[in-house]
Copies of this chain bind each other. A is one copy, B any other.
Amino acid sequence: AILGAIATALNGETKIALPPGVGAAPGEKPLAGRHVVVTSGPTHEPIDPVRYIGNRSSGKQGHAIAAAAAAAGADVTLVSGPVALADPPGVTTVHVETAAQMAAAVEAALPADIFIATAAVADWRVEAAAPQKIKKSAVLPHFALAENPDILAAVAQRRSGRPRLVVGFAAETESILAHARDKLARKQCDIIVANDVGGAEGAMGKDENQITLITPSGAETWPKMRKEDVAAKLVRHLAQLLRERLDA
């Protein structure tokens, strides 16, 4: 009887009062019928079969955004670099390693209504990765670099089939707003989400994030929040913006 009571309490009919705005009311699926493509995590650019150039992105913010978009009713494709996170439920996750693979996976996932480039994509790859492990020798190796494809700019500057909203992230360690505004103009995206990834207070790998939304018309700084809360608020904001653009 005790076990039965526990089972009823856990799985049963009990109604729980939810705060306003939580639940499955129609207005709560503002992205129903929309396709959202999100990139997340770092890329790994091989030096040889065991070594690579990587970065400290954990994928937590990008994965949270993909999950929030799915919760808002969207059909979500998440293109993820190597992370230590589980695939978010209800999201189509494509796993890649390099920037070139990520670019190809994004291209294959389009068209989309919203593209959110959260991944920290390597700007450079090693031009000629060694086919075998480089042995230590008296001579220090030199890795010649080549520029990687710019995924955000390529999507933002598409002549046909451009997503209605293209959102980039700017992970900076200094002059954050200036760099983010410059990135917005250069890449021609609709919104740049700027955050500070430098020093002990930086967002990379952490569970919280403080962001500033930058659009051609202004900037809006949000309080420091858990990455899940940043994701939920960002998704609500984008759903509203998408509706305005479609109504315009």
Contact = CB atoms under 8 A, between A and B. Distances in A.
B52 A53 contact: yes
Interface stretch (A18-26, A194-202, A238-246): A194-202
Given A50-B171, A50-B204, A133-B198, 16 more contacts: A2-B3, A44-B54, A49-B173, A49-B197, A50-B57, A50-B173, A51-B53, A51-B54, A52-B55, A52-B56, A84-B84, A123-B136, A132-B198, A133-B172, A136-B147, A142-B145
B52 A54 contact: yes
Contacts of A3: 2-3
Interface string A120-140: 101110000000110110001
A222 interface: no
A141 interface: yes
A174 interface: yes
Interface of A: 2-3, 44, 47-57, 84, 120, 122-124, 132-133, 135-136, 140-147, 171-174, 179, 197-199, 202, 204
A2 B7 CA distance: 14
A182 to B, nearest CB: 10
A135 B132 CA distance: 30
A223 to B, nearest CB: 24
B51 A47 contact: no
28 contacts: A2-B2, A2-B3, A3-B3, A49-B173, A49-B198, A50-B55, A50-B120, A50-B171, A50-B173, A50-B204, A51-B53, A51-B55, A51-B56, A51-B122, A52-B54, A53-B53, A53-B54, A54-B54, A84-B84, A123-B136, A132-B174, A133-B171, A133-B172, A133-B197, A140-B147, A141-B145, A142-B145, A143-B143
